């Protein structure tokens, strides 16, 4: 007797996803990871490199400078601490932790204090230049997200939590005339207004954008964080405030990151909150902790996470989803739904729109968002 192998119904899973995010009475948010930015291609190449490629590109650039020995020492120290494949984000977190305790003439783990400062600036400058790119006319999933944001009247504002430093989502919303609030107010030198973020009295037709890891157009001056005013092109600077440090570093730098984190925590506490994780591989432990905290404390909230490629590549996400029934993972070959891990049946892995299980590709997920936009406009 052959016992059927446990499986999930793909068409049903997609239908539940669509009906849930299409419910305009629920608070809906989108968490955007690096996979979103790298899903846009120009001349066969990603517009913005993946985090792994970005790390390699930055390393190559820094290696050509006088800071090569310091970077090698930094990477070696991370390996000693169990971080075998460190990224630029690991580098910056470690450097900022070291900077918080370094004196002017001290040496920490083989790196002099001046090298710590110089290395951080060199890495930030390299990252900022590489992600300061304008969205092309065919903006893929970003255009679809903006169209979807403008297609329906919602009881709650759409909230976008992005881990990316680039300005692609802002450019897409502006292209499609979607009003948004990003925590900054003013015209000449917009400053971060955390009270306005907390009060949140703007109309729900305004989207909210929360840059969880900072942005290429953030700066710090005299203890105040402000956003530069664009002249139509993106702006890179070695002074860009990108990637948070969870350790005590500098209050003006910590302020915006803590405020953005509070927004995610508040969002997940709302009854029936729905968070879409797009282009996110669950590699950020701090973000994962906030998701776990939110879902554990609010059983009515749900997170949908389409994953690029096979489920076996996401051990961390699977470990979380098997413990949290309201975290739903959907990879190309399998899913974790209701805490249960199972494959899609090969002969049924197409929904009733003829869509194969490729929703983890932000460019493919755009088709689903476009369907939602058309449905909202026809309602």
In a domain, 370, yes or no: yes
CA distance 202 to 158: 12
**Phi, psi torsion values for 26, nearest 5 degrees:** -95, 150
Report the DSSP beta bridge partners of residue 329. 305, 336
Q: Is residue 280 part of a domain?
A: yes
- Residue 1 covered by a domain: no
Structural domain boundaries enclosing 214:
10-48+135-378
What is the pLDDT tens value at each position of the chain, 379 positions in all? 455 577 899 989 999 999 999 998 999 999 999 999 999 999 889 999 988 999 999 999 998 888 999 999 999 999 999 999 999 988 988 888 888 777 676 888 888 888 998 998 899 889 989 999 999 999 999 999 999 999 878 899 999 999 999 999 999 999 999 999 999 999 888 999 988 998 888 999 999 999 999 899 988 877 788 898 765 444 555 567 776 554 434 444 457 888 899 999 999 999 999 999 999 999 888 899 999 999 999 999 999 999 999 999 999 999 999 999 999 999 999 999 999 999 998 765 555 555 567 899 999 999 999 998 876 655 5
DSSP 154-171: -SS--EEEE---SSHHHH
Domain termination site, one of 131, 153, 174: 131
* Same domain assignment for residues 141 and 116: no
CATH number of the domain within which 221 lies = 3.40.50.1220
Tell me if 48 sits within 8 A of 38, measured CB to CB: yes
Which residue bears the tokens 């948010």? 29
Give me the number of domains the chain comprises: 2
Q: Examine the domain organization and report whether 152 and 242 are in the same domain.
A: yes
Structure token pair of residue 166: 């680039």
| Residue listed under structure tokens 């990252």 | 127
Residue pair 155/24 in contact (Cβ under 8 Å)? The answer is: yes
120 and 183 inside one domain: no
């Amino acid at each position: 007797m052959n016992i059927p192998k446990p499986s999930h119904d793909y068409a049903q899973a997609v239908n539940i996803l669509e009906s849930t995010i299409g419910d305009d009475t629920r608070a809906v948010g989108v968490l955007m990871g690096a996979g979103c930015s790298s899903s846009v291609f120009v001349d066969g190449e990603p517009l913005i490199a993946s985090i792994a490629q970005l790390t390699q590109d930055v390393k190559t650039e820094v290696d050509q400078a006088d800071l090569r020995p310091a970077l090698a020492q930094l990477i070696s120290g991370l390996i000693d601490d169990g971080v075998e494949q460190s990224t630029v984000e690991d580098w910056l977190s470690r450097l900022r932790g070291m900077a918080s305790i370094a004196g002017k003439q001290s040496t920490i783990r083989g790196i002099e204090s001046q090298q710590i400062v110089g290395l951080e600036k060199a890495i930030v400058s390299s990252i900022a230049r590489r992600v300061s790119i304008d969205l092309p006319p065919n903006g893929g999933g970003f255009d679809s997200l903006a169209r979807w944001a403008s297609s329906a009247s919602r009881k709650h504002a759409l909230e976008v939590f992005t881990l990316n430093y680039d300005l692609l989502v802002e450019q897409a919303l502006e292209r499609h005339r979607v009003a948004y609030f990003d925590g900054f107010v003013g015209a000449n030198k917009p400053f971060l207004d955390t009270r306005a973020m907390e009060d949140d009295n703007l109309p729900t037709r305004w989207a909210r954008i929360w840059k969880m890891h900072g942005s290429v157009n953030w700066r710090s001056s005299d203890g105040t964080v402000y956003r530069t005013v664009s002249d139509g092109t993106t702006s890179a600077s070695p002074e860009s405030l990108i990637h948070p440090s969870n350790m005590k570093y500098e209050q003006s730098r910590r302020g915006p990151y803590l405020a953005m984190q509070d927004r995610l925590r508040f969002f997940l506490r709302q009854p029936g909150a729905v968070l879409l994780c797009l282009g996110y591989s669950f590699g950020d432990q701090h973000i994962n902790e906030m998701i776990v905290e939110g879902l554990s404390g609010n059983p009515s909230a749900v997170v949908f996470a389409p994953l690029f490629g096979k489920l076996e590549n996401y051990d961390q996400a699977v470990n979380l989803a098997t413990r949290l029934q309201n975290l739903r993972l959907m990879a190309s070959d399998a899913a974790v739904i209701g805490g249960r891990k199972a494959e899609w049946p090969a002969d049924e892995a197409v929904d009733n729109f003829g869509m194969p299980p490729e929703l983890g590709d932000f460019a493919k997920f755009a088709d689903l968002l476009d369907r939602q936009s058309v449905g909202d406009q026809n309602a």
